[in-house]
Structure 1
């Protein structure tokens, strides 16, 4: 009964999702990208449909909050998870580009690019000390634009998109350093799931570097010096990402956190992004041996996706089936 749960406020349909739910689109979309890269088109297509459905649902939820609960909308727009809207849109755009739907990928790039500066400024202005892993979404959203811009530059031959993407890429690295300075390192052992974004931000940065190498190759954008720097950044960023991956995985063993939390989608996304970054770097820097570990990492990410998705479904069911409702 309502009086037995004083902390729960009834909400109208469509306004029950926190901003962190956008990570579910990011996670589902990036695993779909990974399956596409490895030739598992049926699995990739199923996940793409799920990701699009989630994106539409969350977009409707965003609109309802804007129309009917403006104060809550303002409050959530300044929190780091708000940037999942930009990152999720970029992930979907990248997936549609791989599908050959360049017009749709371009439309999603425009939506993300329009939303990014306002959200980024609002979020960064409200950064505090000792923040959770969601602080790295400032880097993830920025690099998402670089990835999609470079992908479209290579696909449709628009050179200025590649030039813009490389500028955004370097700015994304600046955002990573700034976010790291605010990150509460204790979250590695105590975080509810979004602490994994500390590694995921490096993974998407490595993917952006690889996409820029490929875009340069397709459109003859860079001279040998720029290409060499971008190739080196692929290796450096991927190595740092894998190091984070190992640290975070060990921390999960030392301090298990089995209850479902919506922020666990921010664990799946870095895992999937590390797999996709590994596979793409293998192509960009011509190191085929990386493809095998990339495929292993992809199946690990897919398994964790299934576990988290099961937890999400259970959290929506009767109280007897719930572990912990997402906040």
Structure 2
């Protein structure tokens, strides 16, 4: 048992920052299931997302305190922003449960991490980046989604206006990321290329939350503001669906079988597209969008399950590899890993 525990800790310590996409994917599916009325399944996924978030958060702190150089190296990678995005997704789901204090705490944590990581990540941008380059937009729009959700739940005007600023900043960030994105990733990417569509989806979700946050009590947006926000939100949703179709066709035309941790970055945009469609349907009163949104939600659930099975199989294989040296030349292989 001690050997197994040690191997498990060693395996977990090797998780790259991209592992945070698993929390994002699971959390947004929980949100989508809530919007569709499947509350029990939504809460099961929420528990799984929370457990993964706690494990990754603990590892984040351990690396910061004990492996400072590794932490600094990873903080400059685009995947580091999954920490912000995952936190905002969980905060949004907690807000829908009525746990506003916890949602505020997660908003504060995400808002603290966002500028620190974003500046470092953008400073390391270069030409022909993988799909993770869009995580800057995702993290920014995640803050907008959570801020707008809390603003609507608590009738806090300033928070809605701050979310609106983040919404437009996220769209600007998408433009800069698109200029750096390597289009060859559409046919060659290992999974994170789907974030190009996921960033559009979370932007559409943010727009729908901003629309829903308005009320007679707050009177956030005048008629012109509302029309612009509605038009932009619907445009983003259309662009997202178009991107979804292109990426799906590329998966069929250029199959990439096998497990890669970046496949969680595929599940997240699929789930986010479904959640965005369901949220936009309610916010702008387009009932017929709910049906396609539910179809996409179950497709995302099926992909989530497939990736989860592959992830478990990969973890078991890796753990068996960790234990193998104890039956043979442990010293030689241990030194090789170091």
Q: TM > 0.5 between the two? A: yes
1:122 aligned to 120, 123, 140, which one?
A: 120
- Provide closer, same or farther for how the CA distance between residues 13 and 299 of structure 1 changes in structure 2, counting only shifts above 3 A: closer
Match of 2:252 in 1: 253
- Which has the larger Rg? 2
Match of 1:303 in 2: 302
The answer on whether the counterparts of 2:11 and 2:318 sit within 8 Å (CA) in structure 1 is no
SS of residue paired to 2:226: helix
Deviations 1:288-319 (A, max 9, x none): 00000000000000000000011110111136
Match of 1:5 in 2: none
Match of 2:273 in 1: 274
Aligned equivalents of 2:95, 2:318: Cα separation in 1: 41
Deviations 1:260-302 (A, max 9, x none): 0000000000000000000010111110000000000000000
Aligned equivalents of 1:205, 1:321: Cα separation in 2: 42
The answer on whether the counterparts of 2:28 and 2:271 sit within 8 Å (CA) in structure 1 is yes
Query: Which aligned segments of 4 or more residues in structure 1 are displaced greater than 4 angstroms?
Result: 10-14, 319-322
Q: TM-score, normalised by structure 2?
A: 0.90
Deviations 1:183-204 (A, max 9, x none): 0000000000000000000000
The answer on whether the counterparts of 1:213 and 1:231 sit within 8 Å (CA) in structure 2 is yes
Whose helix proportion is higher, 1 or 2? 2
Map 1:28-177 onto structure 2 (within 5 A).
28-177=26-175
Aligned equivalents of 1:51, 1:254: Cα separation in 2: 32
Deviations 1:7-41 (A, max 9, x none): xxx98475221100000000000000011111111
Aligned equivalents of 1:153, 1:269: Cα separation in 2: 24
The answer on whether the counterparts of 2:198 and 2:273 sit within 8 Å (CA) in structure 1 is yes
The answer on whether the counterparts of 2:192 and 2:263 sit within 8 Å (CA) in structure 1 is yes
Match of 1:215 in 2: 213
More displaced 10-residue stretch of structure 1: 20-29 or 61-70: 61-70
CA drift of 1:68 comes to 1.3
The answer on whether the counterparts of 1:314 and 1:321 sit within 8 Å (CA) in structure 2 is no
Map 1:182-261 onto structure 2 (within 5 A).
182-217=180-215, 219-261=218-260
CA drift of 1:217 comes to 3.3
Aligned equivalents of 2:319, 2:17: Cα separation in 1: 26
The answer on whether the counterparts of 2:128 and 2:180 sit within 8 Å (CA) in structure 1 is yes
The answer on whether the counterparts of 1:96 and 1:104 sit within 8 Å (CA) in structure 2 is yes
Match of 1:16 in 2: 14
Aligned equivalents of 1:313, 1:14: Cα separation in 2: 13
Match of 1:285 in 2: 284
CA drift of 1:164 comes to 0.2
Aligned equivalents of 1:109, 1:319: Cα separation in 2: 35
The answer on whether the counterparts of 2:137 and 2:174 sit within 8 Å (CA) in structure 1 is yes
SS of residue paired to 2:214: helix
Aligned equivalents of 1:151, 1:318: Cα separation in 2: 41
Aligned equivalents of 1:318, 1:144: Cα separation in 2: 34
Match of 2:3 in 1: none
Aligned equivalents of 2:87, 2:9: Cα separation in 1: 26
SS of residue paired to 1:130: coil
Deviations 1:60-108 (A, max 9, x none): 1111111111111000000000000000000000000011101111100
Pairs aligned (count): 314
